[in-house]
């Protein structure tokens, strides 16, 4: 993957009335990467994508695509194509006519159209579907026609606005893998909008997590998951166990803290200076927590005394809902390795929450930014 | 079973109204169109029905309506209705497009209200108003004289031009409303997809907007063309004596010439033509409907 920028976004802002849907976003999308805009509904990810496509004009800021300023260029003048959320196939045209629709504007000779249409349909495994009508197709097939229609024009950047949202779970998983393979073999830059963190992780090279019109974190997919930079990102990526602790002191490599319940622990410092008495917040993913009957502090394993409240059986795993000494809510995910033998802990039982220090993710708290 | 009976009961008022106020008069008209007229404008009793039918005289009014002088009137009605429909279509499409697609959603009720507001005034009065606008001492001529654009008032009234103005003015809302209804339903993302695929605005209009709103266009054409064909108030007031349309011809037979059978025959011919048109329209929509369902 080269590090040439396919899309350069600088200070991009879009206001609807008083609300900034996209608020001074600056980011670079590299040529040939699978880039995801991830966030909850209303975070501005779709508005950002629509500005790249030319369907919304920014209030401020600029967009460059392969070096060319397209901030105010009409959609039909941009070297990008979009796969719309509900596909936006032309219902009055056949599949073949849909795929051929834009070719005449891209200098494809009329005689070449059938061949190019067939090639695009082959790409999405719909060979021979030219004469079908969109309403004769299943949701998954329509999604593939929309993809073929956009790819047939060989765009430099392909924009995808939650294209899998209307598909059922099983089909979604299949299409995610196919889409990623397609992107890799074509080498086209994909900009993918989704609210599904798992989907983003499955497909993306890099992910920008958005919240309230801003990018909270832009990182490699695995880093966004394993090292969320903010509380919002951590929560959104499913890491819901927050620990608020006081700093006791520190040295070159670690920071020593007092855990809820009074036990001491040392966490990696992560390049920050910590002063005694300062508040620190860290998060541990549910699957990285361990629920034990005994306190492991003496063996150097951070342990927090908790009370078991409930148990949620989920088939593959079990989630324990527990409360810390200060009333903090934690959830612990456990793989169900043996046939279900009933609860290890009864409701109200005392237990200890243990974790490895390397699984504690230090967060920059809201006050730091 | 119960549903069927409920359906029949619900349709009953409609059928009763249609029967009493439409089908029954039509039947009377149909019978009258084969009758004979007496000296005073009434209907002459027919003594021997068999002999009357055998003589072929019952078709004399239909035969008369094929006389070149009447064919000329039909022809004039036809092309005026066609021109009215075309002008309405060309004027209404941008207006409906603006209201349905361009204007902000909360301004739409106001704009639609402006389209409908002329209906608060009687059509007759609004047509009279056009006389005040178009006559030699009217608004338009005053303005043109005052601006020094003309030195003598233009003859704007009592000609085909005035009749067309009146027809177009009167029928315009009947074109705007169905166009609005179908444009409003048009999925915006289709327009965006077209632009995204490289189509300039004109191409999007031609390849997406117009084909997708064809049912509204056809409905508007029918709604404008049919009444234009039978109009007589506009041509009566704005056309003077020179512009006679099929509508005037029928009205004259009943009100002035007192030839009810001939009026009935012409009216029936016109009705038949319109029904034929509506049948074609129904066929068109049904075919489209099947397309959508398949």
- Using the beta-carbon criterion (under 8 Å), do A153 and B197 form an inter-chain contact? yes
Q: What is the reported pLDDT for B2?
A: 59
Q: Do residue A121 and residue A256 come from a single domain?
A: no
Tokens 């670690």 sit at which residue? Answer: A254
Residue A76 within any structural domain of the chain: yes
Question: How many other CB atoms are found less than 10 A from the CB of residue A173?
Answer: 15
Residue A340 belongs to domain spanning: 239-363
Strand (E) or helix (H) holding A283: strand A279-284
Asked if residue A273 and residue A220 are part of one domain, the reply reads no
Q: Which domain holds residue B265?
A: 61-288
* pLDDT tier for residue A149 given thresholds of 50, 70 and 90: very high
Q: Give the model's confidence band at B288: pLDDT under 50 very low, under 70 low, under 90 confident, else very high.
A: low
Contact yes or no for B235/B247 (Cβ under 8 A):
yes
Q: What is the crossing angle of helices B246-255 and B214-230, to 10°?
A: 40
Nearest chain A alpha carbon to B210: A92
Is pLDDT of A369 > 60?
no
Mark whether A220 and A259 lie in a shared domain.
no
Task: For strands A303-313 and B43-44, give the pairing.
Answer: unpaired
- pLDDT higher than 70, residue A342: no
Q: How many residues does chain B have?
A: 294
> Token pair for residue A241?
């166990």
Return the CATH number at B108: 1.10.3720.10
> Residue B292: its pLDDT value, please?
34
Residues of chain A with Cβ-Cβ distance to B291 below 8 Å are 133
Say yes or no: A251 and A359 in one domain: yes
Say whether both A135 and A190 belong to one domain: yes
Average pLDDT over residues B120-140: 89
**Distance of residue B280 Cα from the nearest chain A Cα, in angstroms:** 21
Whole-number average pLDDT of chain B:
88
Does any domain span residue B272?
Answer: yes
Residues B135-144 pLDDT 10s: 888 888 889 8
**In a shared domain, residues A129 and A265:** no
Residue A206 pLDDT exceeds 80: yes
Q: What is the pLDDT of residues A251-288, one digit of tens each?
A: 878 888 888 888 888 888 877 778 888 888 999 999 99
Q: Which residue of A has its CA nearest to B189?
A: A88
Residues A206 and A81 in one domain: yes
Residues of A in contact with B211 (CB under 8 A): 92
Q: Find which of A198-212, A250-264, B250-264 is predicted with most confidence, using mean pLDDT.
A: A198-212
**Under an 8 A CB cutoff, do A105 and B199 touch?**
yes
Predicted local confidence at residue B293, as pLDDT: 28
Q: What is the CATH number of the domain that holds A173?
A: 3.40.50.300
Res B8: pLDDT: 86
Banded pLDDT at A368 (limits 50, 70, 90): very low
- Single residue among A197, A228, A259 that ends a domain in this structure: A228
Number of domains in chain A: 2
pLDDT beyond 60 at A2: no
Mean pLDDT of B58-80: 90
Sign of the dihedral defined by the CA atoms of residues B271, B277, B280, B281, in that order: negative
Question: Is residue A10 classed as helix, strand or coil in its secondary structure?
Answer: strand
Same domain, A100 and A198: yes
List CB contacts (< 8 A) between B203 and chain A: 105
For A2, the token pair is 């080269």
In a mutagenesis test of the B interface, which of A52, A55, A116 is the best target, namely the one with the most B β-carbons within 10 Å? Answer: A55
Please indicate, yes or no, whether the overall pTM of this predicted structure exceeds 0.90.
Answer: no
pLDDT at A1: 45
- Please judge whether B189 and A86 are an interchain contact, meaning their C-beta atoms are less than 8 angstroms apart: yes
Lowest mean pLDDT among A17-21, A273-277, B184-188, B261-265: A273-277
Domain limit, last residue, from A228, A251, A284? A228
- Nearest Cα of chain B lies from the Cα of A89 at a distance, in angstroms, of 7
The residue-averaged pLDDT of A212-227 equals: 94
**C-alpha B264: how far from chain center:** 19
Report the residue of chain A nearest B197, measured CA to CA.
Answer: A102
Name every chain B residue with its beta carbon within 8 A of the beta carbon of A80. Answer: 196
Of A53, A91, A102, the CB nearest to B198: A102
Same domain as A310, residue A213: no
**The two structure tokens encoding residue A41:** 């509904």
* Domain total of chain B: 1
Interface of B with A in 146-205 (CB under 8 A): 187, 189-190, 192-200, 203
Closest CA to B209 of A329, B219, B200: B200
* Least Cα separation, residue B213 to chain A (angstroms): 11
B182 is a domain residue: yes
Q: Answer whether A90 sits within 8 Å of B192, measured CB to CB.
A: no
Cβ of B193 within 8 Å of Cβ of A85? The answer is no
Residue A135 per-residue DSSP state: G
Same domain, A158 and A248: no
Q: Is the Cα torsion angle B81, B84, B87, B90 positive or negative in sign?
A: negative
Query: Based on the number of CB atoms within 10 Å of its own CB, is A5 exposed (0-12), middle (13-18) or buried (19 or more)?
Result: middle
Hey, are the CB atoms on B294 and A81 less than 8 Å from each other? no
Average pLDDT for chain A = 90
A141 and A277 both lie in a single domain: no
- Which runs of E-coded beta strand occur in chain B? 36-37, 43-44
Give domain status of residue B107, yes or no: yes
Write out pLDDT tens, residues A56-93: 999 999 999 999 999 999 999 999 999 999 999 999 99
Domain boundary at A208, A228, A248, which?
A: A228
Residue in B190, B192, B211 nearest the CB of A75:
B192
In-domain check, residue B42: no
Judged by CB atoms closer than 8 Å, whether chains meet at B200 and A76 is answered as: yes
CATH, residue A346: 2.40.50.140
**Of the ranges A188-197, A330-339, B21-30, the best mean pLDDT one:** A188-197
CB-based contact A91 B212, cutoff 8 Å: yes
B chain contacts of residue A120, beta-carbon cutoff 8 Å:
none
Res A366 pLDDT > 60: no
Contacts of B292 in chain A (CB under 8 A): 91, 135
B23 CB near a chain A CB, below 8 Å?
Answer: no
Closest of A184, A189, A180, A181 to residue A158, by C-alpha? A189
Q: Cβ contact (<8 Å) for B211 and A92?
A: yes
Q: Is the domain of A330 the same as that of A352?
A: yes
Any CB–CB contact under 8 A between B50 and chain A? no
Q: What per-residue confidence (pLDDT) applies to B290?
A: 43
Evaluate whether residue A368 is within a structural domain. Answer: no
Residue A369 lies in a domain: no
């Amino acid at each position: 993957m080269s590090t040439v920028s396919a899309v350069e976004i600088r200070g991009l802002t879009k206001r609807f009335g008083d609300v900034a849907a996209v608020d001074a976003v600056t980011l670079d999308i590299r040529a040939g990467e699978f880039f995801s805009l991830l966030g909850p509904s209303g975070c501005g990810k779709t508005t950002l994508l629509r500005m790249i496509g030319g369907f919304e004009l920014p209030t401020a800021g600029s967009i460059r695509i392969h070096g060319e300023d397209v901030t105010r260029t009409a959609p039909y003048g941009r070297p990008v194509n979009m796969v719309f959320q509900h596909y936006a196939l032309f219902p009055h045209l056949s599949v073949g006519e849909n795929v051929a629709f834009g070719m005449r504007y891209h200098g494809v000779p009329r005689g070449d159209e059938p061949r190019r249409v067939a090639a695009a349909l082959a790409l999405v495994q719909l060979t021979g579907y030219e004469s079908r009508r969109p309403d004769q197709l299943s949701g998954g097939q329509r999604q593939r026609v929309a993809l073929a229609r956009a790819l047939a024009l060989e765009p430099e950047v392909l924009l995808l606005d939650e294209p899998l949202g209307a598909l059922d779970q099983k089909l979604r998983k299949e299409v995610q893998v196919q889409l990623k393979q397609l992107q890799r073999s074509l080498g086209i830059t994909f900009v993918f909008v989704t609210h599904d963190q798992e989907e983003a992780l499955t497909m993306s090279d890099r992910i920008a997590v958005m919240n309230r019109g801003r990018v909270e974190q832009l990182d490699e997919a695995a880093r966004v998951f394993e090292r969320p930079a903010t509380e919002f990102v951590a929560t959104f990526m499913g890491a819901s166990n927050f620990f608020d602790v006081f700093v006791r002191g520190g040295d070159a490599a670690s920071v020593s803290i007092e855990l809820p319940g009074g036990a001491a622990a040392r966490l990696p410092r992560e390049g920050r200076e910590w002063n005694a008495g300062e508040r620190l917040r860290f998060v541990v993913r549910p699957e990285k927590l361990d629920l034990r009957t005994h306190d492991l502090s003496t063996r150097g394993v951070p342990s927090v005394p908790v009370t078991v409240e409930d148990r949620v059986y989920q088939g593959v795993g079990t989630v324990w809902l527990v409360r810390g000494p200060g009333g903090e809510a934690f959830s612990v995910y456990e793989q169900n390795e043996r046939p279900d033998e009933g609860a290890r802990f009864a409701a109200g039982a005392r237990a200890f929450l243990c974790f490895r220090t390397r699984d504690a993710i230090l967060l920059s708290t809201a006050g730091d930014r | 079973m119960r549903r069927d009976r409920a359906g029949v009961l619900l349709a009953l008022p409609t059928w009763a109204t249609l029967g009493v106020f439409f089908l029954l008069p039509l039947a009377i008209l149909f019978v009258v169109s084969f009758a004979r007229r007496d000296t005073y404008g009434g209907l002459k009793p027919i003594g021997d029905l068999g002999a009357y039918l055998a003589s072929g005289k019952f078709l004399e009014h239909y035969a008369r309506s094929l006389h070149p002088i009447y064919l000329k009137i039909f022809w004039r009605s036809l092309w005026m209705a066609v021109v009215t429909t075309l002008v309405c279509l060309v004027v209404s499409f941008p207006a409906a497009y603006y209201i349905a697609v361009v204007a902000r959603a909360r301004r739409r009720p106001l704009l639609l209200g402006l389209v409908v507001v002329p209906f608060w005034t009687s059509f007759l009065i609004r047509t009279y108003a056009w006389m005040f606008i178009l006559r030699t001492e009217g608004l338009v001529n005053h303005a043109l004289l005052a601006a020094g654009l003309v030195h003598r008032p233009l003859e704007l009234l009592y000609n085909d031009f005035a009749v067309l103005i009146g027809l177009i003015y009167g029928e315009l809302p009947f074109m705007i409303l169905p166009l609005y209804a179908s444009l409003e339903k048009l999925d915006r993302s289709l327009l965006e997809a077209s632009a995204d695929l490289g189509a300039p605005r004109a191409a999007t209009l031609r390849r997406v907007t117009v084909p997708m709103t064809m049912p509204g266009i056809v409905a508007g054409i029918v709604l404008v063309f049919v009444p234009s064909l039978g109009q007589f108030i506009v041509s009566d007031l704005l056309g003077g004596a020179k512009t006679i349309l099929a509508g005037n011809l029928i009205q004259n037979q009943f009100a002035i010439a007192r030839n009810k059978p001939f009026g009935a025959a012409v009216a029936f011919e016109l009705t038949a033509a319109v029904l034929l048109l509506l049948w074609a329209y129904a066929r068109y929509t049904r075919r489209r409907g099947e397309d959508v369902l398949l």
